[in-house]
A and B are shown apart, each in its own frame.
Chain A
């Protein structure tokens, strides 16, 4: 799946389609990112340390600070974005969901059938988690003191998953882009900034194109890899008696990083699908992520993280965030003014905690 909650919210503020009646030429405003790896490293390492020393309790504060750091360093015109979630709400969600997931994990060792049932139960919850997590995130995201919101109901999420999932099942997986489209459309069109609803003009054909191209890139990598491994194994078999299993394991580990290539391709194209042409009121966004620069960046991040045993995680996150933000340009017609909408009460953080802790495949980007 290619929807990321983080993606759902890089600050987006603008509206009206590129083809909407144009009164005045729109002003081109690139988004800017001002985060610094060194500064973020110090915040991050203290977050991790306190999280470990408090046996996870501090993770709620750590999450909020992390998001605040990236939001506040993302600028559109002369204002930065803001994340205002209450760490106590995040903590409450994490404690409850942590307990639930802990019980499910314990079931794994307790009773195999109970565990299988619990896992299926969690999967059934996924649309609900998506709706609730998006609502929590949007409600706590602000720009110029006006909050975003997410209007999508869990019911609609179930409908979209059902429709997409049915096509997916009937076509034996080839309907994947349709499912992706249904979910992304649900995510995008239900967001608002103040009173302005997000709009876009993507169809599932756009997703099909990206899906097929990504598949093509994957095969272009996979086929030579399989041939080389088969060749090596064949040679070893001819030459001697048995094939050392370590040889195969080693070969698999050696080629595994190659799959970052189709990943980078699909990631760049999917991000553009989502943001390019996204409209908010009379303004719109342009997103120009590109395959090769993103591949270079992700490969560098991977090498850096592995060689530094994880100490370069903050550096990697800053680089990636900078790239994503700086590929965005807002086209602004007139001023950025909108009004706050009537906010419903505070959102509980259960869905948010579930998507954070449960690793339910909602992230990926």
Chain B
């Protein structure tokens, strides 16, 4: 497979008898190439013979490199000298006769056949698809509930401070409105004594509400203003309590990092060709997980509102307003991201209408 480079130096020739094979010998001190013949002395040693060179090396002072495709094979001696040859068949036969065959060609046998490769493609597809659909979310949920409560609530520290320093301004809602909403929220929160829930208000550029893993639920003035009655705000807050209750923050952290590792193992090398290639499936996985969480929080909100005697219609009303509001500002970049993480609203709202 190697064309002559025209320098008149002989190529190691493929010759498969166990008795001897051609190789290049390098002493490890200079880069001079010695064309040699390697003779196998039964079970004991190799005899290296070339121009001005004759060397006998015992079996126990020789390491044979594992086979890798049809690449040049190294036979390394204890003093750092080595032989390189393309005559893989001869080296395989030598390793076999020295009882090292199994160890040195085990992986090569798998790697050189079509069937294991096809098999590997199917297993990988199953592992990645199954892991993505069921395995990773299930595992993340298990781990999320296994993590001590204190550690879960510790997540996201500093997030609010950082948002305050950048995006948020203090709330301009009157104390009266804030207190009224807090009391209503408190009536909801009291049903979940194991969650450290609290409500806080901020002013931002858009109607929004989100929950931190430590139970702090943040509502923007704009959302409160968008709602016509408090029950609409409560409907959104019930959804946010759902996120805290189901530990979505830590589950998302676990899910997306596990998927990133899986995708990295598969496409990792391709990033050299274009890192965008690896980004697309990662984002897709994340948005799928996020949609599953939203659905779960919706189900929580639905059950909760029914139980609390608040009409689920309120959730429909406020989400429709939000969609309209967001649609109007759809040109802004942040909105696209918001939409991507939320399921199509029509589908979401159907269960609340019924």
Taking the closest CB of chain B, its distance from the CB of A79, in whole angstroms, is 6
B261 touches A245 (CB 8 A): no
Taking the closest CB of chain B, its distance from the CB of A110, in whole angstroms, is 6
Report B92-148 residues with CB < 8 Å from chain A CB: 107, 110-114, 116-117, 120-121, 123-124, 127
Kindly state the separation between the CA atoms of A313 and B5 in the bound complex, as whole angstroms.
30
Kindly state the separation between the CA atoms of A39 and B272 in the bound complex, as whole angstroms.
20
Which of the candidate stretches A41-49, A165-173, A212-220 sits at the interface with the other chain?
Answer: A41-49
B27 interface residue per 8 A CB criterion? yes
B271 interface residue per 8 A CB criterion? yes
A119 interface residue per 8 A CB criterion? no
A110 touches B7 (CB 8 A): no
B127 touches A78 (CB 8 A): no
| Residue in contact with A145 in the complex, picked from B27, B266, B270, B339, CB distance below 8 Å | B27
Kindly state the separation between the CA atoms of A249 and B161 in the bound complex, as whole angstroms.
32
A52 touches B270 (CB 8 A): no
Kindly state the separation between the CA atoms of A48 and B162 in the bound complex, as whole angstroms.
39
Closest A residue to B267 by CB, please name it: A310
A27 touches B7 (CB 8 A): yes
Q: Which residues of A contact B80 (CB under 8 A)?
A: 145
Closest B residue to A34 by CB, please name it: B1
Contact with B along A37-64 (1 / 0, CB 8 A): 0011111111011011100100100000
Determine the interface band of chain B, counting residues with CB < 8 A from chain A: 35 or more
Instruction: Tell me whether chain A's interface is mostly helix, strand or loop, or mixed.
Output: helix
Report A91-109 residues with CB < 8 Å from chain B CB: 105-106, 108-109
Kindly state the separation between the CA atoms of A80 and B107 in the bound complex, as whole angstroms.
22
Closest B residue to A311 by CB, please name it: B121
B267 touches A46 (CB 8 A): no
Kindly state the separation between the CA atoms of A230 and B319 in the bound complex, as whole angstroms.
31
Q: Which residues of B contact A363 (CB under 8 A)?
A: 271-272
Which of the candidate stretches A67-75, A152-160, A177-185, A271-279 sits at the interface with the other chain?
Answer: A67-75
Closest B residue to A43 by CB, please name it: B111
A68 touches B121 (CB 8 A): no
Q: Which residues of A contact B1 (CB under 8 A)?
A: 34
Taking the closest CB of chain B, its distance from the CB of A53, in whole angstroms, is 8
Report B53-86 residues with CB < 8 Å from chain A CB: 68-72, 74, 80-82, 84
Kindly state the separation between the CA atoms of A262 and B323 in the bound complex, as whole angstroms.
39
Asked whether A45 and B2 contact (CB < 8 A) given A146-B26, A242-B330, A359-B271, the answer is no
B328 interface residue per 8 A CB criterion? yes
Taking the closest CB of chain A, its distance from the CB of B172, in whole angstroms, is 25
B189 interface residue per 8 A CB criterion? no
Taking the closest CB of chain A, its distance from the CB of B75, in whole angstroms, is 11
Which of the candidate stretches A17-25, A125-133, A335-343, A347-355 sits at the interface with the other chain?
Answer: A335-343
A112 touches B116 (CB 8 A): no
A143 interface residue per 8 A CB criterion? yes
Report B272-295 residues with CB < 8 Å from chain A CB: 272-274, 276-277
Kindly state the separation between the CA atoms of A117 and B4 in the bound complex, as whole angstroms.
56
Kindly state the separation between the CA atoms of A302 and B11 in the bound complex, as whole angstroms.
37
Kindly state the separation between the CA atoms of A219 and B13 in the bound complex, as whole angstroms.
54
Listed residue (A41, A80, A110, A248) with the most chain B CB atoms within 10 angstroms of its CB: A110
A282 interface residue per 8 A CB criterion? no
Kindly state the separation between the CA atoms of A335 and B69 in the bound complex, as whole angstroms.
30
Q: Which A residues fall within an 8 A CB radius of B?
A: 4, 6, 27, 29, 32, 34, 36, 39-46, 48-49, 51-53, 56, 59, 65-66, 68-69, 72-73, 75, 77-80, 82, 105-106, 108-114, 143-146, 194, 242-245, 248-249, 256, 260, 263, 298, 301-302, 305-306, 310-311, 313, 316-317, 320, 335-340, 359, 363-365
